[in-house]
Structure 1
Amino acid sequence: MPGLFDAVDALLASRAALPPPEERKRLRQAHALTVDEVAAALQVRRATVTSWESGRTEPRPPERDAYARLLDGLAKLYPAPAEEGTEATEEEEDPEPPTDSTTATQPTPTPTPTTTSTRTTSTRTTGTRTTRPPTTPTAATDDRFANGPLAVIDVDVDGDASGQVLAYCQGGLILEVPAKSLPSLVEWTLSEGRLGQPRLSGPGKDADPLLVLTEAALDRFGLPTSLTPEERTAGRIPEAHKVVKQLKRAQWQLTKRGFGPWARIYRPATGSERACVQLCIPSWGALDPRHWDGAGSLPPADLARVLGVFAARVMTPRGSTAVTGLELMTALHPPTRASEPDADGKRHSEHNPGSLGKEPVDPAPCEAIDGHPLLKDLPRFYVRGPGEKIFEEAYDWARPLTDDECMRAHLVGLDVNMAFAAGANGLIVGLGAPSHEKNPVFDPKLPGAWLVDLSHVDLSRVKVGKEWVDLRGDLLPSPFTPKGDRPTGPAWYATPTVAYAVELGYEVAPTEAYVRHDNGRYLDGWYARLRDAYVATMADLGVQADTSPEDFLKAMDGYKKRDPELAIVVSAIKATVKGGLGKLRERPRGEGWRPGEPWRALSRPTWRPDIRAAVISRTRVNLHRKVVKHAAFTGQYPVAILSDCVVYAVDGTSPLDFLPYRQGKALPGGFKLGVNPGLVKHEGTQTVLWGEGVREQYEAPELNLARYIKAGIVSDADSGE
Structure 2
Amino acid sequence: MSELFEAVDALVASRAPLPSAEERKRLRQAHGLTLDDVAGALKVRRATVSGWESVKKPVEPRGPEREAYARLLSKLAELYPAPAAVPGPVSAMLTAEPAPAERTLPTGPVSDAVRVVAPEPENTRTATPAPATSPKPPTSATPPGQATRRPARTAGSTSPSRRPGVKRTAPPGRPADGTDPRFENGPLAVVDVEDGQVLAYCTGGLVLDVPAKSIPALVEWTLKEAGLGQPRLSGPGKDADPLLVLTEAALQRYGLPVTLTDEERLAGRIQESHKVVKQLTRTDWKLTKRGFGPWARIYRPAQGSERTCVQLCIPSWHALDTRHWGAAAQLPPADLARVLGVYASRVMTPRGSTAVTGLELMTALHPPTRASEPDADGKRHSEHNPGSLGKDPVDCAPCEAPDGHPLLADLPRFHVRGPGEKLFEEAYDWARPLTDAECTRRHLVGIDVNMAFAAGANGLIVGLGAPTHVKRPVFDPKLPGAWLVDLSHVDLSRVKAGKDTWVELDAGLLPSPFTPNGDRPEGPAWYATPTVAYAVELGYDVRPIEAYVRYENGRYLDGWYNRLRDAYLATMADLGVRADMEPADFLAAMNGYREHDPQLAIVVSAIKATVKGGLGKLRERPRGEGWRPGEPWRALSRPTWRPDIRAAVISRTRINLHRKIVKHAAFTGQYPVAILSDCVVYATDGTSPLDFLPYRDGKPLPGGFKLGVNPGLVKWEGTQEVLWGEGVREQFDAPELNLARYIKDGTVTDTDTGE
Residue of structure 1 equivalent to 2:246 = 213
- Name which of 128, 131, 142 aligns with 2:180: 142
Distance 2:183 2:105 in 1: 24
How far apart in 2 are the matches of 1:125 and 1:607? Answer: 42
The residue that corresponds to 1:532 in the other structure is 566
Answer whether contact 1:125 1:131 (CA < 8 A) is retained: no
Per-residue CA deviations over 1:344-366 (Å, capped at 9, x if unaligned) read 11100000000000000000000
C-alpha offsets along residues 243-295 of structure 1, whole Å, 9 cap, x if unaligned?
00001111100000000000000000112223000000000010000000000
Select which of 512, 521, 525 maps to 2:555.
Answer: 521
The CA distance in 1 between the partners of 2:159 and 2:369, in whole Å, is 52
Does structure 1 retain, via aligned residues, the 8 Å contact 2:430–2:676? yes
Closer, same or farther: CA 98–603 of 1 in aligned 2, 3 Å: farther
Instruction: Return the offset for 1:119.
Output: 1.8
Secondary structure of the corresponding residue to residue 262 of structure 1: coil
Letter of the structure 2 residue corresponding to residue 145 of structure 1: F
CA offset digits 1:330-387 (Å, max 9, x no partner): 0000000000001111100000000000000000000000111111000101100000
- What is aligned with 1:438? 471
Give a deviation string over 1:558-585, Cα, whole Å, max 9, x none: 0000100000000000000000000000
Structure-2 separation of matches of 1:712 and 1:585: 32
**3-state DSSP of counterpart to 1:175:** strand
Distance change in 2, residues 1:693/1:528 (3 Å): same
AA aligned to 1:599 is: W
The 8 Å contact of residues 123 and 132 in structure 1, kept in 2 or not, is answered as: no
Q: Does residue 1:657 correspond to 2:691, yes or no?
A: yes
| Percent of pairs with identical residues | 77
2:91 to 6, 15, 26: 26
Within the alignment, does 1:405 sit opposite 2:443 as a pair? no
Secondary structure of 2:569's counterpart equals helix
Q: Tell me if the contact between 2:447 and 2:689 (Cα under 8 Å) persists in the aligned partners.
A: yes
Structure 1 segment 173-572 matched on structure 2, within 5 A: 173-466=206-499, 467-572=501-606
Q: Which residue of 2 aligns with 1:68?
A: none
Compared with structure 1, are the counterparts of its residues 301 and 504 closer, same or farther at alpha carbon in structure 2 (3 Å cutoff)? same
**C-alpha separation between the residues in 1 aligned to 2:693 and 2:180?**
48
Question: Relative to 1, partners in 2 of residues 1:609 and 1:315: Cα closer, same or farther, differing over 3 Å?
Answer: same
Partner of 1:699: 733
Give the alignment of 1:554-703 within 5 angstroms.
554-703=588-737
In 2, are the aligned partners of 1:425 and 1:523 still within 8 Å (CA)?
yes
Counterparts of 2:188 and 2:423 in 1: how far apart (Å)? 41
Contact kept, 8 Å, 2:359 with 2:615, in 1: the verdict is yes
- State the match for 1:102 in structure 2: none
Inter-partner Cα distance in structure 2 for 1:524 and 1:151? 30
Which residue of the partner structure matches residue 84 of structure 1?
Answer: none
Aligned with 1:269: secondary structure?
A: coil
**Counterpart amino acid of 2:291?**
G
Q: What is the CA distance between 1:123 and its match in structure 2?
A: 3.8
What is the identity, as a one-letter code, of the residue corresponding to 1:306? V
1: distance between equivalents of 2:159 and 2:114? 28
For 2:700 and 2:732, locate their aligned partners in 1 and report how far apart those are by CA, in whole Å: 37
Work out the CA distance in 2 between the residues paired with 1:353 and 1:457: 39
- State how far apart, in whole Å, the 2-side matches of 1:90 and 1:184 are: 28
Amino acid at match of 2:629: P
Q: For residues 170-211 of structure 1, what are the alpha-carbon distances to aligned partners after superposition, in whole Å with 9 as ceiling and x for unaligned?
A: 000000010001100000000001100000000000000000
Contact in 2 for aligned 1:335/1:357 (Cα 8 Å): yes
AA aligned to 2:524 is P
Q: Is the 8 A contact 1:261 1:286 kept in 2?
A: yes
1:290-344: CA deviation from partner (whole Å, max 9, x where unpaired): 0000001100000000000000000000000000000000000000000000111
TM-score, structure 1 length as denominator?
0.86
Structure 1 SS opposite 2:302? strand
What letter corresponds to residue 561 of structure 1 in structure 2?
A: E
Cα drift, residue 704 of structure 1 = 0.3
Contact 1:56 1:120 in 2 (8 A): no
The question of whether the paired residues in 1 share the 8 Å contact of 2:374 and 2:380 is answered with: yes
Question: 5+ residue gaps in structure 1?
Answer: 1-19, 60-88, 100-106
Contact in 2 for aligned 1:337/1:352 (Cα 8 Å): yes
Find the counterpart in structure 2 of residue 152 from structure 1. Answer: 190
Give the 3 Å change call, closer, same or farther, for CA 202–191 of structure 1 in structure 2.
same
Bigger mean CA deviation after superposition, 456-465 or 213-222: 456-465
Contact 1:660 1:666 in 2 (8 A): yes
Preserved CA contact (<8 Å) 1:124 1:131: no
CA gap of 1:463–1:129, structure 2 versus 1, over 3 A, is farther
For residues 388-411 of structure 1, the C-alpha deviation after alignment (integer angstroms, 9 at most, x for no partner) is 000100000000000000000000
TM-score, length of structure 2 as denominator length: 0.82
Structure number with greater Rg is 1
Alpha-carbon separation, structure 1, partners of 2:311 and 2:729: 49
Q: What amino acid sits opposite 1:493 in the alignment?
A: Y
Matching residue of 1:119? 149
- Deviation digits for residues 225-256 of structure 1, max 9, x if unmatched? 00000000000000000000001111100000
Shift of 1:26: 1.9
Q: Aligned pair in 2 of structure 1 residues 179, 713: CA closer, same or farther (>3 Å)?
A: same
The residue that corresponds to 1:73 in the other structure is none
Partner Cα distance (1:644, 1:607) in 2? 24
Q: Tell me the distance in 2 between the aligned counterparts of 1:167 and 1:396.
A: 46
Contact 1:196 1:208 in 2 (8 A): yes
CA, structure 1 residues 717+469, in 2 after alignment: closer, same or farther (shift >3 Å)? same
Residue 43 to residue 90, structure 1, CA distance change in 2 (3 Å): closer
Distance in 1, matches of 2:583 and 2:486, equals 41
Structure 2 letter corresponding to 1:345: G
The residue correspondences of 1:83-122 to structure 2 (distance < 5 A) are 97=125, 114-115=143-144, 116-122=146-152
5+ residue gaps in structure 2? 1-84, 128-132, 166-175
Question: Partner of 1:124: helix, strand, or coil?
Answer: coil
- Structure 1 distance, partners of 2:732, 2:454, is 35
Q: What is the letter of the counterpart of residue 453 of structure 2?
A: F
Q: Matches of 1:538 and 1:266 in 2, distance apart? A: 36
Q: Alpha carbon RMSD of aligned pairs, Å? A: 2.7
Structure 1 residue 49: deviation in Å?
7.4
Q: Distance in 1 between matches of 2:513 and 2:629?
A: 32
Residues 57 and 119, structure 1, Cα contact 8 Å, conserved in 2: no
Structure 1 residues 458, 221: closer, same or farther in 2, change over 3 A?
same
